[in-house]
Amino acid sequence: DAKTTQPPSMDCAEGRAANLPCNHSTISGNEYVYWYRQIHSQGPQYIIHGLKNNETNEMASLIITEDRKSSTLILPHATLRDTAVYYCIVRVGSGNTGKLIFGQGTTLQVKP
Amino acid sequence: DTAVSQTPKYLVTQMGNDKSIKCEQNLGHDTMYWYKQDSKKFLKIMFSYNNKELIINETVPNRFSPKSPDKAHLNLHINSLELGDSAVYFCASSQSPGAGELFFGEGSRLTVL
């Protein structure tokens, strides 16, 4: 089972920031949080990951709370092409047999 | 060049048939995966191979047999297809089995009639 919970859906206006929350209250100290997205009819795409510090790349920012029990993915200026299902994932297991378990994700609808 | 490529993209077949899906990655990665996405859109890991060796097998029926001839290829053969096998199958690769950054293919949509 996935170790994360996310709202099933969210809307965002084009050009505004999209803030996607994720709860992972059972996360262990050395487990990373990963974010992926899946645009309709495409394969999932890696976005970003983090352990405890905030992270930023060309796609998004990841804010992780100090207690690491939740995080927020931020798309600073959402476009229509950002409409997708966003998955927040904590890897299950460790070492070579660790795996990414995808939950239901959040369907983000960016509206004009 | 496509990093992770799967063929065929679409496959329609009758129950009871045997079919294969092929996957190739040109990223030089050591680890490859098969995921299944059913009609409810849940993505579930099926198998993982590291350098041609099976390392994850997620209680998939033994009608499903992955084969990795080399670390750049991971094929999925399915025997005696059933209606419930209808899904989109995604291949993915990562640099190592411990890496969390996976690169996915575009998927192969299998429809069993």
**Cβ neighbours of A87 in B, within 8 Å:** 43
pLDDT value at position A1? 66
Longest dimension (CA), chain A: 44
Q: Which of A91, A97, A101 lies closest to B55 in CB terms?
A: A97
Reading the block at residue B100, the tokens are: 């969390």
Tell whether A49 lies on the interface with B, counting CB pairs under 8 A.
yes
Contact pairs from chain A to chain B, CB under 8 Å: 54
Q: How many CB atoms lie within 10 A of CB B8?
A: 13
Lowest average pLDDT, out of A52-56, B22-26, B40-44, B109-113, goes to B40-44
Pick the range with the lowest mean pLDDT from A68-72, A89-93, B92-96. Answer: A89-93
Hey, what are A55's tokens? 């992270």
Closest listed residue to residue B28, CA positions, set B1, B54, B47, B46 = B1
Q: Model confidence over A28-44: pLDDT tens digits? A: 878 899 999 999 989 99
Phi, psi of A67, deg, nearest 5: -80, -5
